[in-house]
């Protein structure tokens, strides 16, 4: 049976740059020009950010959404807060000023997955649209997109995530400063030996909070190593390890130390800001920009580790030219 080669064909991302008391906000000038002359007045802010990022990734991939292809593309999107700001604004207007005071045109934005659905409609995509929620949401979206392509359920997928700064009513405690972010990656089944490719994805459920004691931190290393061995991956080939987390740098360093003692060495890239549900997709996009365009390089492995309190998500990406046959 012929195996499928799931390549990361293109990507784009945005990360906030304007520091405010609530966090780091995206400049409107960074994404609004991508929407063109049409202003999409009824689309809320998170919808515009999501649509602009998806549009940019599609443009970089040279994919054409025509009548034949539109039903074959899948969209998978991850977020932590989604459209909760629009929901909160709509509901508070109704509660404080009465139901007749709300703007009906704003109601579609109150659906939690409205941003990705509206973006998919605007791009003319009619294939499956799936949403994921939580800190690891966009990393899980990429992982499930990989599994869908690998199993033959779809040929091409747009996977990523986005989050805007949530209002104070929805914020949870975090060790890191919030930063708005959005990213989309185009995944395709291609017989290509130079594009970065996903070779594994897995999630682990923790029976106790990650930092409850030293044993739970060690468990991250054990579960990661066991899965890498199952995939017959030599630990010496791991060159970069990206950690997406809202835990403090000290706690992330504890994970790094444990992983290094267990034999997973290489360059560790830790989270500086809490990019919410978009963090994993942003890290994958950054890796593509840094490593993905290099040709003639010896194959190497990047690990993406999404760390929640009770859940670990692991994505494995291989980059560099490969001589092995794609079968």
**13-38, pLDDT tens digit by residue?**
999 999 988 899 999 888 888 887 67
pLDDT class of 120 with cuts at 50, 70, 90: very high
- For residues 187-216, average pLDDT: 85
Helices H, strands E: what count in the chain?
8, 12
- Percentage of the chain exceeding pLDDT 70: 92
Q: Find tokens 């034949």 and name the residue.
A: 68
- The candidate with the shortest Cα–Cα distance to 181, out of 36, 21, 314, 30, is 30
Q: Is the predicted pLDDT of residue 103 greater than 90, yes or no?
A: no
- For residues 273-299, average pLDDT: 83
Phi first, then psi: what are they for 166, rounded to 5°?
-80, 150
- The candidate with the shortest Cα–Cα distance to 46, out of 95, 89, 10, is 89
Higher pLDDT, 84 or 249: 249
- For residues 241-269, average pLDDT: 92
Q: Which two tokens stand for residue 256?
A: 């790094």
CATH architecture of 6-189: 3-Layer(aba) Sandwich (3.40)
Distance of alpha carbon 79 from alpha carbon 180, whole angstroms: 11
251-272 in b/e form (b: 16+ CB < 10 A) is bbebbbebbeeeebebebbbbe
Distance of alpha carbon 9 from alpha carbon 131, whole angstroms: 21
Mean model confidence pLDDT for the chain? 87
Distance of alpha carbon 255 from alpha carbon 243, whole angstroms: 9
Whether domain 197-319 has CATH 3.40.47.10: yes
Q: Which pLDDT does position 321 carry in this prediction?
A: 61
Distance (Å) of CA 34 to CA 31, 49, 57, 236:
6, 10, 11, 41
Beta-sheet pairing, 23-25 with 6-15 = unpaired
Instruction: For residue 134, count CB atoms less than 10 angstroms from its CB and return exposed for 0-12, middle for 13-18, buried for 19 or more.
Output: middle
- For residues 94-112, average pLDDT: 86
- Please give the full DSSP string across 83-141, using - where no structure is assigned: THHHHHHHHHHHHHH-GGGS-GGGGGGGSTTHHHHHHHHHHT--S-EEEEESTTHHHHH
Q: 163 and 277 in contact (C-beta within 8 Å)?
A: yes
Do the first three CATH levels of 6-189 and 197-319 match, i.e. the same topology? yes
Please name the residues in contact with 316: beta carbons below 8 A apart, sequence gap of 6 or more: 198, 199, 200, 201, 228, 231, 233, 301, 302, 303, 304
- For residues 34-54, average pLDDT: 85
Beta-sheet pairing, 6-15 with 18-20 = unpaired
Domain boundaries, the chain: 6-189, 197-319
Q: Which two tokens stand for residue 23?
A: 């966090």
Instruction: For residue 12, count CB atoms less than 10 angstroms from its CB and return exposed for 0-12, middle for 13-18, buried for 19 or more.
Output: buried
Write the secondary structure of 61-76 as one string of H (helix), E (strand) and C (coil). Answer: HCCCCCCCCCCCEEEE
Please name the residues in contact with 10: beta carbons below 8 A apart, sequence gap of 6 or more: 57, 58, 60, 61, 62, 185, 186
Distance of alpha carbon 46 from alpha carbon 48, whole angstroms: 5
pTM, 2 dp: 0.92
Phi first, then psi: what are they for 175, rounded to 5°?
-75, -20
Q: Which pLDDT does position 1 carry in this prediction?
A: 40
pLDDT class of 169 with cuts at 50, 70, 90: low
Q: Which pLDDT does position 202 carry in this prediction?
A: 96
Q: 164 and 45 in contact (C-beta within 8 Å)?
A: yes
Q: Is the predicted pLDDT of residue 272 greater than 90, yes or no?
A: yes
Q: Is the predicted pLDDT of residue 282 greater than 90, yes or no?
A: yes
């Amino acid at each position: 049976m012929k195996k499928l080669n799931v390549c990361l064909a293109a990507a784009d991302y945005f990360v906030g740059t304007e520091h405010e008391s609530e966090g780091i906000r995206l400049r409107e000038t960074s994404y609004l020009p991508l929407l063109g002359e049409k202003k999409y007045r009824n689309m809320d802010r998170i919808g515009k950010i999501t649509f602009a990022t998806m549009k940019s990734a599609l443009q970089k991939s040279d994919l054409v959404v025509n009548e034949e292809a539109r039903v074959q593309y899948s969209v998978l999107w991850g977020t932590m807060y989604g459209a909760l700001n629009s929901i909160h604004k709509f509901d508070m207007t109704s509660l404080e000023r009465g139901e007749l005071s709300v703007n009906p045109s704003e109601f579609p934005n109150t659906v939690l997955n409205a941003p990705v659905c509206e973006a998919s409609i605007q791009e003319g995509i009619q294939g499956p649209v799936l949403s994921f929620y939580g800190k690891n949401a966009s990393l899980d979206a990429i992982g499930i997109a990989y599994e869908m392509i690998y199993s033959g359920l779809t040929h091409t997928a747009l996977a990523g995530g986005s989050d805007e700064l949530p209002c104070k009513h929805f914020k949870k405690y975090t060790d890191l400063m919030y930063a708005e972010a959005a990213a989309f990656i185009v995944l395709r089944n291609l017989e290509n030996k130079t594009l970065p490719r996903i070779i594994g994805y897995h999630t682990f459920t923790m029976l106790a909070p990650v930092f409850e004691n030293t044993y739970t931190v060690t468990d991250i290393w054990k579960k990661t190593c066991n899965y890498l061995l199952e995939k017959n991956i030599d630990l010496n080939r791991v060159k970069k390890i990206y950690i997406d987390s809202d835990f403090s740098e000290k706690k992330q360093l504890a994970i790094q130390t444990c992983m290094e003692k267990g034999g997973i060495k290489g360059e560790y890239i830790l989270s500086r800001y809490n990019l919410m549900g978009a963090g994993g997709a942003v890290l994958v996009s950054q890796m593509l920009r840094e490593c993905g365009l290099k040709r003639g390089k010896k194959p190497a492995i990047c690990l993406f580790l999404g760390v929640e309190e009770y859940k670990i998500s692991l994505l494995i990406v291989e980059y560099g030219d490969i001589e092995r046959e794609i079968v």
